[in-house]
């Protein structure tokens, strides 16, 4: 009975290690939900088994240096969007300055008309 349990445990560990390696080889992000789906093992197994937990943590740390290919695409799109928004800000600032100048001119004209109106009384 003990040997069967030990053998079953070793099979689970081997299965989990294989799944971790597959994700590493495919340069996919290693997550417990992905490992659960690939192996059919429980969430607790990945967190409670010290051997697998260490391998999983090491693999995740090794992946920290890798760049997610989708991230590069998203970064480029965001840079383009940022450039567009910065251009819009510059245009709106220019328009705002023009409107302030126009407002000042119109205010002076109104003030002059008020003075003329008061003088005529």
Q: In Å, how far are 1, 18, 21 from 27, measured between CA atoms?
A: 39, 14, 10
Q: How many CA atoms lie within 13 A of 29 on its CB side?
A: 9
- Residue 20's pLDDT band (cuts 50, 70, 90): very high
Q: Give the Cα separation of 65 and 89 in Å (integer).
A: 35
pLDDT > 70: percent of the chain: 90
Intra-chain end-to-end CA distance of the chain, in Å: 114
* Structure tokens, 121: 């009384």
Structure confidence at residue 66 (pLDDT): 62
The shares of helix, strand and coil residues in the chain, as percent rounded to the nearest 5, are 85, 0, 15
Q: Give the Cα separation of 55 and 51 in Å (integer).
A: 6
pTM of the model: 0.52
- Give the tens place of pLDDT for each residue, 53-102: 999 988 888 877 665 667 778 888 999 999 999 999 999 999 999 999 99
Computed over every residue of the chain, the mean pLDDT equals 88
């Amino acid at each position: 009975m003990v040997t069967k349990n030990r053998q079953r445990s070793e099979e689970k560990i081997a299965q989990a290690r294989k799944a971790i390696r597959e994700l590493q080889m495919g340069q996919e992000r290693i997550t417990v939900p992905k490992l659960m789906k690939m192996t059919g093992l429980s969430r607790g197994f990945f967190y409670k088994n010290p051997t697998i937990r260490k391998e999983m943590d090491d693999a995740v740390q090794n992946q920290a240096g890798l760049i997610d290919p989708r991230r590069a695409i998203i970064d480029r799109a965001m840079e383009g969007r940022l450039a567009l928004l910065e251009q819009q800000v510059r245009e709106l600032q220019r328009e705002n300055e023009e409107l302030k100048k126009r407002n000042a001119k119109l205010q002076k004209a109104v003030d002059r008309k008020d003075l003329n109106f008061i003088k005529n009384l």
